[in-house]
Structure 1
């Protein structure tokens, strides 16, 4: 057993240990194929998600495996593994070059290469899976709460000058209140990362919309003041309160909430305040109302438009995180293409990042599942197979069903030609400019409101100038 464990990846090793514990609890001595399959399904939730996505009924699969379990197992001649289980592992080992065997390689070998196990009913269930994922595609995306900001390199002089002006304004007066405004996705959060190292005083960055997390944090928000003086010149210097994605109207609304944190915190804050938020309608009086309520003067700065070079720098800073999140490669050509678009919905840093994230997520899905047309044809073929089983049980003719199955199989092979060619070239997970162009067309076509889709998306740059903003990154 120890020898075979060395051929399995950690997840499959854990399943083997659980199978042994289950057998020992029953008073048995040999781990069968069925014991290991049940333990593997319990140990790896990703398998159940993948199989459900392929149309497999997990309850039916579990019952089928349980029904195949032998009442009396053989006496283990070579340790605790049955001969069938060792045969399965050996077949998977012979057909895979990777140092460790993952669940997709094991199940794929069970279906395609373990001839002695083909009579098992659960193998017929696994045969419903059209394609098993590569071991490189088994890694699950990192959880979203593991997100870390990328260090953005500033290349635009306008961004540098704005950072200097804001830093000087915040350092000059403890009662300073500055609002850096710009449309959503203009790059305010990316620019903020260039400002924070310039600040001479400490800063506290809060999201007032997540009050519960702030209250649960052990980190002090207000500075510890000495008993001799207040937050003036003789006392400790108050940090800058940084409120990203907060406009004056947003702050007024948060302060008006009953028993909310925003009102108590902002009214007591004796240091500078920095707001970064979207533009407001001209008729809005929120800025004036905020000045009256806090007794401060609000200085407003407009966020400069980012150049192509700056957008390339932002994409390069986020490149590693996107590649790790979606298990794809983003080449330099894709970065240059994305940064040079002039369509309104993707010409801002936030819109551009969202576009690239969408394209990377779609590429990861296609690499794991195959083309959408092939998936649909696989579903049609599965339906015909089920109809064929019913017809056989009722002794009805199945000639038409078999003819339809053959036709669908031909269409499916044709639909997967480009996918297999790309995989053979080693570019299945490499994001191309064509992937980005197609994702932009899908995104623009799905947006609400009138969009001159054909006229703009067929121009030289492949842009869509009629698209709206819709960017979620600020």
Structure 2
């Protein structure tokens, strides 16, 4: 352990010591990857701020790490460190040859190089962070961590034009207040990837629904003054999933850290949220903040942009569900015009559902086969009781034979896909079936007609896409 401590930056050394103390406190002897990660999140204040700025839910990440904690740990050659932790540190040392390994070096190596740890669920979460602040020399990039962006390619000219307009407005007016209106899932969060590189100042992303986040985050340097040139030094405050009605509720509420932060913020503010709330919310918010609210409707997302967004999430979906998305499936998913899945948010949720269902199908087989297996088990129990009591079992045996045939028929598709090597390949047919289930389960009338289901790629033999209601 001492040898590896000498390779770590001060924050890494402190995290390793804290992890050892926590392990000893609970009666353990070996420090796991998960122990070290949790300690690193606690000891390095810049790491939570970096992750929140990249859109990572810290609470969800911590829970994911805790769920991956092994019950029995294999001890590495260093004794106090698990073999997986030793492997991770060795991977980072092979890549970065500087005197110290910083948290950025460690996490970058965990995501990009530690192949033995790629099955961990929290690694899939960390993979959503595309730009770790590591320079070519192995040192931290001088770029502030709040300037990063989600690695999604922006292909829509409408998205680009809107980003330019807002960037210019924020550059010219430090007191600007913008509300980007759009339904949930329209792609507003993905669009931020297009805006942030154009900004001439830092930005801070905040979820006003989480008071704990406001208190926990170490804010960047905020000038003491609010007038004159001081206001130009303030970062841009980005409030995602927040409408004027939502922000007004925070501003008029009792004394909270979020309320105080909003009221004293002297830099530009950007709201991204759906329409809704009282009609006078915008006017009341303007009076409370002393700013003029400019409202812009978010442009629709094109097919090409939806493909770019889904492709950027492809690796995460495939790794978390152990499935493979075919190019035809991606094209099919992005070309649907159904209201439920035509937005980026709806599209991703649909593909996630289909991937989760395929994973369940691959692990446990068809649901119908499970039902038939339970019925067969019940009949066998009845047959045993009847035999023990010298009662006739001919009818039970006939029913058993019939159920066995039905079960074999229900499992044909599973065995065929296993034989073809497509048991975990997400196809057009899988997506169509999931869409039919999802649309049928949603409230309101269903409009799912054949002319919207143009056949392409694998879909040619996937059967009808009609759903009648």
Change (3 A) 1:457 1:144: farther
Matched with 1:450 is: 445
- What secondary structure does 2:325 align onto? coil
- Give the Å deviation of 1:392: 3.8
Matched with 2:191 is: 191
Change (3 A) 1:463 1:249: farther
The answer on whether the counterparts of 1:178 and 1:299 sit within 8 Å (CA) in structure 2 is yes
The number of residue pairs the alignment matches comes to 325
- Matched ranges for 1:40-189 at <5 A: 148=128, 151-189=151-189
Q: Partners of 2:185 and 2:222 in 1: how far apart? A: 36
- Give the Å deviation of 1:262: 3.0
The answer on 1:299 being equivalent to 2:298 is no
- What secondary structure does 1:233 align onto? helix
The answer on whether the counterparts of 1:254 and 1:262 sit within 8 Å (CA) in structure 2 is yes
What do residues 371-407 of structure 1 show as CA deviations (whole Å, max 9, x unaligned)? 1111111111121222233334444333332222221
- Matched ranges for 1:73-472 at <5 A: 148=128, 151-217=151-217, 219-220=218-219, 223-225=221-223, 229-230=225-226, 232-234=228-230, 237-280=233-276, 284-453=279-448, 456=449, 460-461=453-454
The answer on whether the counterparts of 2:179 and 2:273 sit within 8 Å (CA) in structure 1 is yes
What do residues 285-316 of structure 1 show as CA deviations (whole Å, max 9, x unaligned)? 11111111100011111111111111111111
Question: CA-atom RMSD, angstroms?
Answer: 2.8
What do residues 33-89 of structure 1 show as CA deviations (whole Å, max 9, x unaligned)? xxxxxxxxxxxx99xxxxxxxxxxxxxxxxxxxxxxxxxxxxxxxxxxxxxxxxxxx
- Give the Å deviation of 1:332: 1.0
Change (3 A) 1:389 1:463: closer
Change (3 A) 1:382 1:261: farther
- Give the Å deviation of 1:177: 0.6
Q: TM-score, normalised by structure 1?
A: 0.63
The answer on whether the counterparts of 1:342 and 1:463 sit within 8 Å (CA) in structure 2 is no
The answer on whether the counterparts of 2:211 and 2:257 sit within 8 Å (CA) in structure 1 is yes
Matched with 1:56 is: none
Change (3 A) 1:144 1:213: farther
Q: Partners of 2:273 and 2:206 in 1: how far apart? A: 14
Q: Partners of 2:316 and 2:431 in 1: how far apart? A: 18
- Give the Å deviation of 1:192: 1.0
Between 1 and 2, higher relative CO (CA 8 Å, sep ≥ 6) is seen in: 1
- What secondary structure does 2:403 align onto? helix
Gaps of 5+ in 2: 1-66, 69-118, 130-149, 455-463
The answer on whether the counterparts of 2:214 and 2:258 sit within 8 Å (CA) in structure 1 is no
- Give the Å deviation of 1:466: 11
Change (3 A) 1:256 1:234: closer
Change (3 A) 1:235 1:164: closer
- Give the Å deviation of 1:233: 1.1
Greater Rg by CA: 1
Change (3 A) 1:211 1:390: farther
- What secondary structure does 2:323 align onto? coil
Q: TM-score, normalised by structure 2?
A: 0.64
Q: Partners of 2:210 and 2:390 in 1: how far apart? A: 64
The answer on whether the counterparts of 2:177 and 2:294 sit within 8 Å (CA) in structure 1 is yes
- What secondary structure does 2:341 align onto? coil
Q: Partners of 2:316 and 2:128 in 1: how far apart? A: 8
Q: Partners of 2:125 and 2:315 in 1: how far apart? A: 17
Gaps of 5+ in 1: 1-44, 47-138, 468-474
The answer on whether the counterparts of 2:223 and 2:230 sit within 8 Å (CA) in structure 1 is no
Q: Partners of 1:278 and 1:308 in 2: how far apart? A: 22
Q: Partners of 1:154 and 1:466 in 2: how far apart? A: 37
- What secondary structure does 1:242 align onto? strand
